[in-house]
Amino acid sequence: MGKVYLVGAGPGDPELLTLKAVKVISSADVILYDRLVCDEVLSYAKPECKLVYVGKEDGKHTIPQEEINRLLVYYASSHERVVRLKGGDPFIFGRGGEEALYLKRYGIPYEVVPGVSSLYSVPAYAGIPLTFRGVASSFAVVTGHEATGKEKSIDWKAFKDIDTLVILMGVKNRQRIAQELVKLGRKPSEPVAFVERGTTPEQRVVVSTLGEVAKDPPEVSPPAIMVVGQVVGLQGELSSLLENLKKNMEGVYNA
Ligand code: SAH
């Protein structure tokens, strides 16, 4: 009987992998990986490692979670080291908790290797700190996936007075979310940022306001993180600061 490692692959930039993740990935016999895991991360695998893609693809058949659970048990019964590789952190909206419970139920040893979550690293690369003295002393993270219609299960009232809101999986419902927040009394002038493909070379930042997103939402495509709050206002200043810092650092390294 092998062991299963539930591993966070970070938000995209392969340098944000943890040392522990690299160690576990490079000794894996099988890796089951998701859509948000980049190729460079997989390049740490041994040449003989079996790579199994279990991610979703828009409009195509998706492997149900139950099937992924079964695959983990199946591979653990015939391989020593099985890695379940997920984007960001495995226990944040990644169904890693369910997989851990399933493995436990089947008596399969497992270990969790936390990853750098997109929830704070993606805003950080875009120059948005989630907290800032005197501007934001609280933040909350919520899924935007369950924001509409029959599926609606989020009580947005809970987020009325939280300084910074980080919404994952919110691209599709962005207009509804903004409308909901304005209805609750958040100011239509409150800044909103969408960060697409954060920490990758394709990173794109779109800045708007709650009122604008509620009325006429900007074009955004997933994966993206939606940040609502005054901290978004720091974005321009901080991102240019970061650029300068990077340039200075290059100077140091190239010297
Ligand atoms: N476990 C992951 C989150 C999985 S949910 C983590 O800890 O980061 C998937 C959602 O995460 C996406 O819909 C998007 O909102 C966000 N996300 C993940 N990686 C991202 C990236 N590189 N850029 C922007 N958003 C990202």
Architecture of the domain delimited by 3-116: 3-Layer(aba) Sandwich (3.40)
pLDDT of 250 higher than 60: yes
Q: Average the pLDDT over 204-227 and give the result.
A: 97
The residue whose CA has the least distance to atom 25 of ligand 1 is 224
pLDDT of 153 higher than 90: no
pLDDT of 175 higher than 60: yes
**Sign of CA pseudo-dihedral 43, 115, 129, 222:** positive
Q: Atom of ligand 1 at shortest distance to CA of 203?
A: 23
pLDDT of 114 higher than 80: yes
The residue whose CA has the least distance to atom 9 of ligand 1 is 169
pLDDT at position 46: 97
Which tokens sit at 74? 């199946």
From 118, 166, 228, give the residue whose CB has the most ligand 1 atoms within 8 Å, as the site to mutate: 118
Q: Where in the chain is the domain with CATH 3.40.1010.10?
A: 3-116
Q: pTM of the prediction?
A: 0.91
Kindly report, residue by residue over 60-94, the tens digit of the pLDDT.
667 888 999 999 999 999 999 999 999 999 999 98
Q: Tell me which CATH code domain 119-240 carries.
A: 3.30.950.10
pLDDT at position 254: 47
Q: Average the pLDDT over 115-142 and give the result.
A: 96
- Separation of CA 55 and ligand 1 centre (Å): 13
**Cβ-based neighbours of 239, under 8 Å, separated by 6 or more:** 126, 127, 205
